[in-house]
Amino acid sequence: MNFTKMQGCGNDYIYINGFEEQVEDTGKPELVRRLSDRHFGIGGDGVIFINPSREADFEMEMYNADGTRAEMCGNGIRCVGKYVYDKGLTDSDHITVISAGNIKELELTVEKEPGRPEGRGKVKLVRVNMGSPILEPTMIPVEAAGDRVVDEPILVEGKEFRMTCVSMGNPHAVVFARDVAEMKLEQIGPLFENHARFPRRTNTEFVELLDRKNCFMRVWERGTGETLACGTGCCAVAVACVLNGLADNSLTVKLLGGELLIEWDRDRNVVYMTGPAVTVFEGQV
C-alpha cells in the first residue's frame, strides 16, 4: 500500500489514496492503529483516506490514532487540498471536500518552487471555509442548560474550570488559563475528554490570551492525546474569544507546531482558517 505522510503545523496524518488503494471498512480501525503507532508503525495523529465523492470533489475519511472515526480536522483537510492538487487529481485551485457529511470549500495558494520555473507549482497555503460554528449544547454535544455554553463552570477532579463550548463539526471545550505552556495536559486532558458532560467525548483547548489579535493554545484531542496543532480547535478558540469579548474577529492562534490565522465573518456567520500544508515523505507499507 502506498502512503503519503503530511502535516499542517505539526498535526501529522498518514494519507491513503482511496482512488487506488482498497481497504475493507471492517479492517480500517486496526490498520489505522498499526500505521499511527510512532514506535512500530509509520507514526501520526491518525489516518486520512482520500476518496471519490458524488456530493463534492473529494471525500476525506478521517480516523484518529486509536482507530475511531472523526468528523473533521482543519489541518488534515488542508493537507487533502495539497495532496489532490500536487498529485494531479485536480487542476483547480478551488475545490470542495466532504467529511462526515459536511462539505468544506478550499482555496489553494499555489507557488512555483525556487529554481524550478517549469510545471504548475505546488500548494503552499490553504484557506478553508470551515462553515458556521455550532453553539447549541445538544448539537455540540455537551450537557448544559440554556442555548449556549459560554464561560460556564465545569468541575474536573474537584477543581473548577470555566469553559466555552463550540462545535466546528466536532466538539470542543475551550478553557482560558494562565501559564498554559506549563500545564500537564497528559493529566488534565483525559479528564476533560471523558467527562460525563460530553456524551461523545471532547477535544479540549487550553488558551492563554496574548492580546486581542493573538493567543497561545495547547490542545488535547480525543482519541489521540496532545497534538502540535488542531485546526478545528483554533476555529473554536477564535469563536470562544469573540463570545467572551476577549478578541476581535480575526485572530492568530500560536501553536506548538506553528500558527493559523482564523477569521470569523460575523455577517455571514462563517469561519475561515488559513495555514500551511506540507508533504513530509512518501513510502509503501
Helix (H) or strand (E) holding 186: helix 185-193
Element (H, E) at 191: helix 185-193
Q: What 3-state DSSP class applies to 53?
A: coil
Quick one: pLDDT band at residue 83, thresholds 50, 70, 90? very high
Active site residue 230: yes
Residue 37 C-alpha cell reads as 503507532
At 117 the pLDDT is 63
Rounding to the nearest 10 degrees, give the CA dihedral for residues 61, 66, 206, 251: -20
Cα 148 from chain centroid (whole Å): 22
Q: What is the pLDDT of residue 112?
A: 83
Contact 189, 11 (CB under 8 A): no
Q: How far lies 203's CA from each of 98, 117, 118, 169, 206, in Å?
A: 21, 42, 43, 12, 10
Grid coordinates given for 113? 518552487
Q: Mean pLDDT throughout 65-79?
A: 95
Full-model pTM: 0.92
Distance CA 278, CA 260 (A): 14
Q: Which helix (H) or strand (E) holds 243?
A: helix 231-243
Tell me which residue of 258, 257, 215 sits closest to 236, measured CA to CA: 215
Going by C-alpha positions, the residue among 70, 132, 146, 143 that lies closest to residue 104 is 132
Catalytic-residue membership of 215: no
Catalytic residue among 165, 215, 230, 234: 230
pLDDT at position 133 over 90:
yes
Beta-ladder partners of 167: 134, 171
Q: Which residues make Cβ contacts (< 8 Å) with residue 60, sequence separation at least 6?
A: 48, 49, 50, 51, 73, 76, 77, 80, 97, 98, 99
Which pLDDT tens digit goes with each residue over 14-69?
999 999 999 999 999 999 999 999 999 999 999 999 999 999 999 999 999 999 99
Confidence of residue 116 (pLDDT cuts 50, 70, 90): low
